[in-house]
Structure formats: C-alpha cells, structure tokens
Amino acid sequence: MDPILVLGLMLSLYIAWAIGTNDAANPTNIVVGSGVLTPKKALTIFTIFVFLGSIAQGWMVSKTFGGGITKIESAADALTATISTGIWITLASLTGMPISTTHSAVGGVLGIGLYKVIKLKSIELINWGVLSKVVISWITSPLSVLLLCFIFMRLFDAVIDRALKRGVNPKTLDSYIKSALIASFAFSAYSFGANDVSNAVGVYSVFTSLSGVVTGFNMQVALTLSAIGALGIALGGFTLGHRVINTIAYKITRLDVRNGLSAQLSNALVVWLFTTLPTLIWGYGMPISTTHAAVTAVLGVGLGRYGVKGVDWGVVSKIVFMWLITVPITALISLILRWVIYTVLNM
C-alpha cells in the first residue's frame, strides 16, 4: 500500500479517536444523565447508530471540509490540519470540557488557508462564501435547538397531562417515555454520525488523491473513510468519553426522563436537518457543532423546567469560554505548524 495512503488512514483514525473522546457525550449525555441507560450501554448503542449515520450520510458533510473552505492540496496540509485539531480536542477531553470539534476542525483548515494567504498574498485562497455559511450554521443551530426544546416541552407536557387525566397508569406512561427517549437517542447518534464524521475524515481524502487512487470527490472513498471515522469515534468514546459525558450529563442542570426526551429529540432533529437540507440546496451539508446543539438542548430544558436558578452558570461560562477560543487557537496552531513544516521539511 502507498505510504501516503497509510499515513492518511492513520491520521484519520487518530483524529476520529480524539473526536470520540469529546463528542461521544453529545448524543449520550441525556440518556445517561436522566438515568435511563448506563454509560456503557449508551456508548454501545451510540457506536451502532454512529456507524449507520456515517455510512448513510457522512459523505454529505465530508464534501464541505474536503474541498470547501480552502483547498487541501498536499500531505503537509492534511498533516497540519490533523495535528492542530487533534491537540486541542485531546487537551479539552482530558479536562472534561465539551468543546466543538467542528470548530476545531474548521480552525485547523482555516489556519492552512491563512498560511497560504500570507505566503501567496491572495485572500481568494479561502472560500469565504462556504466559511460564512458554516459560521451562520453555528449560530442558527443552537438557537434552533433552544426553540425546539421549549416547543417539545410544552407539547409533551400537554400530552402527558391529557394521558394522566384519561387514567393511564403513571408507570406505564413512564415506560413509554423511556422507550421514546431511547429511540430519539438512537436517532441523535445517527445524526451525529452523519454530521460529525466529516471532522474526522473530510480533509484526508487528499491522501487518496496524492496516492493516485482517486482524484477529487469519490463516493466509494468517502464511504470507506466514513466507516474508519465511525470506528475511531467509537474507540474514543469508550476510552476517554466518560469525562465529557459526566460534565454535560450532571453538571449543567438536573435531567429526568421527561425533560430529557425534549432535549434529545430537539438535538437529534436539528443536527439531522443541518446535514440533510443544505445538501439538497447547495450540494453539501453544514458541519454544525453537535456540541453546541447538545449543550444548548440541556441548557434549554434546564431553563424551561427550573428557571435561571436551575442552571449552573459557572460550568456554562467555562464551556462558552472554551467555545470562543477554539477556532482562534486551532487556526493559530495550524498556521504556525504549517510554517514550521514548510521551513524545516520544505513541504
């Protein structure tokens, strides 16, 4: 096998593992925090549906990173994006902080674009149109999740109250709600796989081009890389994912089965829609922050159920601070690393 292709596969697995250590919490935190599933059972279901989502729709968002924000045209570019993204995600996971791995990946790719802008003195080397759409999706996705949370909470409360008035046994009703929560969790994991696998493998299709296997976007290669990404994400979730799961599941607000269903379903639906609808319109899905969606969903039900005092704002402020510095830090790391590789290895 071509050494360049081997390097690409190794880097894809590494970044997928790093993403799993942080983002496995996004679909699983609610079923764990509400006490419906143990972390081990949740991660097992998560693995199955992330794989399905990666294979079925992961190629949609991979196109955004592979050839959208800037052109990844060398092994040095891909190496830079991988290392700069992976370093920041790993550090955050070790501290239990849920950062946006999508922001990290975008920052890594953006740093390469900035390096080329400085070196070649041409701002046209960055596709500002694609980048602006990605940034807009970061803002609209958490707002959409927040709105859906409030809508679902009111809707489910009305349905539950009506069922109780009609004499439905509360225990039977709770079992239905738990089943619905697990089903929405599976949908959330599927949506996560469809959107977040791009962060692991989107920029590395360049290795297949460099090795001469394919040129440009290729569906077969995208599906193969999606499967590799799903495997790495699952490994990351099982090895280090519990730290971030613990933060979102227990430290932001108190979760139970009823408000958990609202949070889980709104999170899953928004991530899936941002993956699917833009593909039908523009030809590529939007790589939104599934972390933003997940944390906002938990925050939404906390505010809706318990009010301002029901949220630990100290934890939330730390999370938001990490979100704000993620793109600048990963872009800076990427820019410096790309310069070092060029200076030392002349690549």
- What pLDDT does residue 53 have? 86
C-alpha to C-alpha distance for 319 and 172, rounded to whole angstroms: 37
pLDDT score at 326: 92
Q: pLDDT at position 321, please?
A: 94
Average pLDDT taken over every residue of the chain: 84
User: Which pLDDT does position 213 carry in this prediction?
Assistant: 59
Sequence-distant (6+) residues with CB within 8 A of 237 are 20, 21, 24, 28, 43, 46, 47
Judged on CB neighbours under 10 Å (0-12, 13-18, 19+), 44 is middle
How far is Cα of residue 158 from the mean position of the Cα atoms in its chain?
Answer: 32
- pLDDT > 80? residue 209: no
Angle between the N-to-C axes of helices 101-120 and 39-67, in degrees from 0 to 180, rounded to the nearest 10? 20
Q: How confident is the model at residue 66 (pLDDT cuts 50, 70, 90)?
A: very low
- What is the rounded average pLDDT of the residues 311-330? 93
Q: Identity (one letter) of the amino acid at 106? A: V
Q: Average pLDDT for residues 166-173, to the nearest whole number?
A: 89
Q: Which helix (H) or strand (E) holds 80?
A: helix 75-94
- What pLDDT score was predicted for residue 121? 72
- CA–CA dist 23, 39 (Å, integer): 14
Average pLDDT over residues 205-216: 60
Please count the structural domains in the chain.
1
Any bridge partners for residue 126, and if so which?
Answer: 70
Q: Report the candidate in 184, 200, 244, 250 with the shortest Cα–Cα distance to residue 45.
A: 184
Which residue from 121, 75, 106, 87 is spatially nearest to 18, judged by alpha carbons?
87
pLDDT tens across 8-31, in order? Answer: 778 878 888 999 999 999 899 999
Average the pLDDT over 172-195 and give the result.
91
Examine the pLDDT at 216 and tell me if it is beyond 60: no
Mean pLDDT of the region 208-233 = 68
pLDDT for 38: 92
| pLDDT tens per residue, range 68-93 | 566 777 778 888 888 998 999 999 99
> Is the confidence at residue 278, as pLDDT, over 90?
no
Higher-scoring residue by pLDDT: 205, 29: 29
Q: How confident is the model at residue 109 (pLDDT cuts 50, 70, 90)?
A: confident
Domain hosting 306: range is 3-345
**How far is it, in rounded angstroms, from Cα 268 to Cα 294?**
9
Nearest Cα to 26, choosing from 223, 226, 233?
233
pTM of the model: 0.84
- Other Cβ atoms less than 10 A from the Cβ of 123: the count is 11
Q: Which two tokens stand for residue 93?
A: 């996971």
What's the pLDDT at 312? 96
For residue 199, the model assigns a pLDDT of 66
pLDDT band at 221 (very low <50, low <70, confident <90, very high): low
Question: Which residue, among 232, 180, 227, 250, has the nearest Cα to 39 in the 3D structure?
Answer: 250
Which residue reads 């379903």 in tokens?
265
